[in-house]
Amino acid sequence: MRHASSLCAAGLILGLGAVGCTSASSGASPAVPGSQRYPGGSAPAASPLPAAAGVYKSVPSACPALSPAALRAIAPGSASGTETDSSSGGVVEHVCNWHAEGSAWSRTVTVMIELDPGPAGPANAAGAYQNALSYAPGPPSAIPGLGTRAQLNEARTKAGSSAQLHVLRRNAIITVAYVGTDSGAPMTAAEMRNGPVTAARSVVAALR
């Protein structure tokens, strides 16, 4: 799997400078009605998703894999996502990017789904997952109930904040990058966790 290089090719800035990420969508989305701050961190807790019964033969494109409800919860008013699909050496990769902003906040969400359907798919995915974690900025924390393994990394600066969630699920890897700022300040700790987890749960539920 080509995880680290593909993230760069997709235009993700996943280090401490991530607050500068923008998408290809044109124009700013309207501010959240009645508030100058993004009302994130309010996604309700949910029970763990069931474990995958076997290897995946295919995965959906990244844009439709994130449900409209999940997108509204973490990037309200965002335009349609920008999808990039590719394959190499039998590995399929889908990337989608969304951007939303109001008068005093902005959010960028990027979802990547990688699938290795070959006989060595689970082992290859496990290796690519572990390699991806070495590039993730900020302190790590394990997130249970999403897949075989899942790790969230968060980075905060005075200008804003970013979070990466990597999920290994059999022979697939889901990566969610979540970037945002509120009046030039970082997102709350709750939102940095809830945003990526909400997105990842939606994508995992779309896998068949």
* Segment-wise mean pLDDT, segments of 10 residues, the chain, 208 residues: 51 38 35 35 43 78 95 87 93 96 92 96 95 90 93 87 95 96 87 94 93
- pLDDT at residue 43 in the model: 41
Enter the pTM of the model. Answer: 0.78
CB-CB contact of 99 with 81 (8 Å): no
- What's the pLDDT at 208? 77
Extract the tokens encoding 127: 């290796």
Q: How far apart are CA 125 and CA 207, in angstroms?
A: 15
- At residue 93, the 3 state secondary structure works out as strand
* Domains present along the chain, CATH in parentheses: 61-206 (3.40.1000)
